[in-house]
Chain A
Amino acid sequence: MMDSITQKAGIIAAAAFGVVLVSSAGYSSVSAQGLPEGFKKGDLAPEPSAEMIEAGKRVYFTKCVWCHGVDGAGDGPGADRLWPRPRNFNQGTFKIRHTASGELPLFDAKKPIPGQNDLFETLTHGLPGSAMPSWEGILSEEQRLQVLSFVTTQLVKDRKFTDKQSETQTILQLADLKPKPATDESKKRGGELIVEKKCVECHGMEGRGDGNAFNLKDDWGFSIQPANWHKCWNFRGSRQDPYNVANIFRTFSTGVNGTPMPSFADNTTVDERWDIANFVSSLCERDALGNPLPIDPLTDKPKINFVIPSDLVEGEIPADIEHEAWQKAPKRLVAMGGQITHKPRNFVNRIDDIWVRSLYNDKYIVYLLEWDDRTKSVAEGKLPWAPTQVNIDVKEQDPKTGEEGSIAARQNNYTVYNDAIAIETAVKWKELPAPIKPRYLFGTNDQFPVDIVKWEADGSLRAFKGTGWDKDFEERDNYEEAMKLVKSEWKNGRWYVMIQRPVGNKKDQDYDEDTFFEVGQYIPTVFFAWDGHNGDAGRKMAVSAFYYTFMNPPVPQETYIYPVVIAVGVVLLEGWVLTRRANRKKGKTL
């Protein structure tokens, strides 16, 4: 352990030295006044009026105090179960800014203008990926400016927004900088630059935030994870416009105060920064045609489709993801939340979505599951419980612990268990009149159980029967031999797991334990995921809502015949109407 830390420290030191070398080699990115390219000196905003501050106090104690605390130290009643922890305002350290690294963010109580008022924009759009919501539509513009007046003057204690002696404002002129078109050339250069500028050391070789994931701490000593570039809707600074490269350009130019993310303004030109922003933005998940995923304005996350279509293939189902059949298979995003229904509740789920694809043939159905997990976790030694055990000794986070015992302080300090994933399907879904299903969490009871197929990172693939949230799983006879783990690989922050199981039929399958996958029917399906480095085991896991596996039936012949018959019928009808009209006009009726 010690060795690897010194090694990493060595790499960081070398990287820093490299940065110094490069910038001292006379890079043209620093302008004549010593300002980085794209920045200009600005003036400090005037102090907000006393009335604004007083009115803001009322807003603060209605809405904000619950997480940010009475003194703004980020220690409100909600803080200990949150990761990232609510911002401690006292130091005046704010992440998303247009100002140079280390400077206070832009805030002017009289100017709620995008690009000129960082704190106002943070309040308006929220900080996705954290518990901070968007306050637009909840607080009026005036109320947002009021509460910020209160926070910046009363709760920021170590610095002063109006002190000309100690504070400066070096402002990124984002509005004047024209984005560079995201051409292949620009993205290619960006892809080279992120290696050259050592971005990949933290953000990982594929940008999934898996590099150096354990050693990063913020200014308050809490673990912090590098952003996953493939989920731009979780970027704190995405401003409800995740596919906009300007947001990435800004974060890259100004750095993220209080975190290990530095500003790169001093050692990159504006042109290079656009290349990098274009490249990073191009990594964000897109649909099959390369268009941005549609974002649901109610959640600020990609829109969800609850049907997982499975396509028919003739013969063997391919094991290679690059195979044409898999490339053509529709991909569905399955949203994951923490299991917060029964103890131990999982308040911080580090897996928040899974990409699912499926194919089937006459005998088997295969699920291809891909999800981002910054850490490959395999438990050391034997786990202290049997694979069937659900009621195990894993504690949930206490509601009030103080900073040291908080969920944020415990990140990356858990005992490591196996990463795992499970597909749960209703067993007797046909006996239950729609929409009734067995309960999402391990089934209802013996009468309406669920079929659970669980893969763990130790390479095991097991099948269980679930009969209730508080019942340990039951083993299923012989079923495991019928299944096959086609693929399981962790690469650069992402798991690729391919699970094959029989579609079954009523005749030679145990219909009391196994799901019968029938073509053209909606088969209720739930997904569970465990992140071993999050201490996930038993019911401490991530869960999805009910989805449906739908095996697309081959198109029946009638589909081609009937429409033709109908069209011919319409022609006859037209003839009849016309003759009738003509006859009526001539004075004779039929």
Chain B
Amino acid sequence: MKALMSLGALIGVAGLLLLGGMVFDVVPSTTIRLVEGYMPIQMLLEVACYVIGFTGLSYMMNAMGMAIPRFWQGIGFWVFFLLYLKYRMYPPIPFSVRAMYGTVSLVAVFMWVSASEEDWQKFKQPIMNVLDAQTGGNRLLRYLYLVLLPILIGGFSFNAMMPKSEEPIELRTVHPAPPASTKVHGKTYTLQTSQNPYRVNPEGKYDQEFSNANIVEQGMGRLMKPNANPWDDKNQGYLKYVREGGEIFFQNCHFCHGDNLNGRGLHAFAFNPIPANFTDPGTIAQLQETFIFWRVSKGGIGLPNEGFPWASVMPPWEQHLTVDEIWKVVLFEYWHTGYYPRTWD
């Protein structure tokens, strides 16, 4: 038990040092990289590690006769969590979201300290002590609070009332509901029943299994399968069209969506909303191929209002590409990211 707890304590101390380093900018917050797309689960795991670490730490302190009162444990954990959100999370999350998490965690801390009557007594004891001011130290504290609280609260309200010019927060729906059908170059495509005409095997038949077997491998680098090189001249069917789609992508799309389809192209820094990151499991991996076909054909201007059609610079590609070219680009995007398009069943 003791060994286990000291291990926990070690984790706790290491974690605190790491976070401290990040707060004071000694350790860059990218030290342990948050993997794109897995950020939430990674964050939960990390916080769980911290909780284990703190349990161990508190146990060890207890064993060494330096127990930390419940009051300070509660406050300490809450402060830790706020700092964690502010300094560890990358990309940074806006203050409004942090405030939400902060409130939720405050409630959680309260539930923890008031789990039993005895705990609650222990928690509020220090507060009562200051109110009663039986000792000299507490009396000093009480006077300090008497003076500091009005100044702080007055200061905060002054700050809040000063006119500010912060960026207005505008929440945009990234994947709005698609229409039932879309008309491109004079032909109507029903989104539920349309298929990518280039997702075909060498015999020219629609073959999802064949194409799925030839996409890049998941894992670091997302490299092509060794025997499935789109640049092999002998290719027929799927891989041949992947290459054609790639050529179109690198003549048209990479300027914003980037050479690695991660939304960090040459012009990307200038635009808001930023270009979609196809390697993120939250974009094309979540969507049907026909949805992408609709989005690519109609572009930003074809979005419903919740998708901010006025701000998106995504071209309506029907103005630049043929239907065949659009399907090939969609095919390439799935090949290059190693995702399967979602199907209707």
Contacts and interface: CB of A to CB of B under 8 A. Distances in A.
A2 to B, nearest CB: 36
A503 to B, nearest CB: 16
Contacts of B191: none
Contact of B131 (A399, A444, A550, A581): A581
Contacts of B172: 435
A364 interface: no
B315 interface: yes
Contact of A440 (B157, B158, B311, B320): B311
B313 A307 contact: no
A444 B251 CA distance: 28
Given A78-B251, A400-B251, A434-B168, A62 B216 contact: yes
B70 interface: no
Contact of B168 (A349, A548, A564): A548
Interface stretch (B3-11, B76-84, B115-123, B262-270): B262-270
B231 A65 contact: yes
Interface string B290-311: 0000000001110001001111
B150 A438 contact: no
A133 B224 contact: no
A559 interface: yes
A470 to B, nearest CB: 10
Contacts of A345: 315, 320
A266 to B, nearest CB: 36
Interface string B46-87: 000000000000000000000000000000000000000000
Contact of A342 (B229, B319, B336): B319
B220 A306 contact: no
B315 A352 contact: no
B95 interface: no
B328 interface: no
A550 B165 contact: yes
Interface stretch (B178-186, B252-260, B280-288): B252-260
Contacts of A305: 167
Contacts of B213: none
Interface stretch (A102-110, A157-165, A377-385, A570-578): A570-578
B163 A520 contact: yes
A365 to B, nearest CB: 15
Nearest to B162: A559
Given A349-B267, A440-B311, A555 B150 contact: no
Contacts of B145: 574
A63 B336 CA distance: 9
A435 B308 contact: yes
A143 B216 CA distance: 15
Contacts of A566: 153-154, 157
Contact of A61 (B131, B231, B256, B272): B231
A259 interface: no
Nearest to B160: A563
A131 B260 CA distance: 11
Interface string B225-268: 01001110000000000000011111110111011101011111
Contacts of A265: none
Given A76-B250, A306-B272, A522-B168, A67 B310 contact: no
A65 B249 CA distance: 13
B221 A61 contact: no
A440 B310 contact: yes
Contacts of B308: 435
Given A338-B255, A342-B319, A559-B162, A140 B154 contact: no
A138 B90 CA distance: 17
B132 A563 contact: no
Q: How large is the interface on A (under 10, 10 to 19, 20 to 34, 35 or more residues)?
A: 35 or more
Contact of B150 (A63, A66, A435, A568): A568
Contacts of A386: none
Most chain A CB neighbours (cut-off 10 Å) among B163, B246, B269, B308? B269
B131 A143 contact: no
B254 A436 contact: no
A436 B305 contact: yes
Contacts of A556: 163
B311 A131 contact: no
A62 B222 contact: yes
A284 interface: no
A340 interface: yes
Given A62-B223, A338-B255, A437-B311, A352 B270 contact: yes
Contact of A306 (B151, B167, B223, B262): B167
A133 B260 contact: yes
A560 B230 CA distance: 69
Interface in A330-346: 335-343, 345
B167 A307 contact: yes
Contacts of B91: 298
Contacts of A80: 251
B37 to A, nearest CB: 12
B150 A61 contact: no
A578 B157 CA distance: 24
B229 A567 contact: no
Interface string A51-88: 00000001101110111001000001110110000000
A25 to B, nearest CB: 45
B271 A337 contact: yes
Given A309-B165, A399-B252, A545 B271 contact: yes
A299 interface: yes
A567 B153 contact: yes
B128 to A, nearest CB: 8
Contacts of A306: 167, 272
30 contacts: A58-B223, A61-B229, A62-B222, A62-B224, A62-B336, A77-B246, A139-B220, A309-B165, A335-B270, A337-B267, A337-B270, A337-B271, A337-B313, A341-B300, A341-B314, A349-B267, A436-B305, A444-B310, A545-B271, A545-B272, A546-B272, A546-B311, A548-B167, A562-B157, A563-B154, A563-B155, A564-B154, A566-B153, A566-B154, A567-B151
Cβ-closest 9 pairs across A and B: A337-B267, A337-B270, A78-B250, A567-B154, A77-B247, A299-B269, A545-B272, A399-B251, A335-B270
Given A62-B216, A139-B221, A306-B167, 11 more contacts: A63-B259, A67-B250, A77-B250, A341-B316, A399-B252, A434-B170, A439-B301, A440-B310, A544-B270, A546-B311, A552-B163
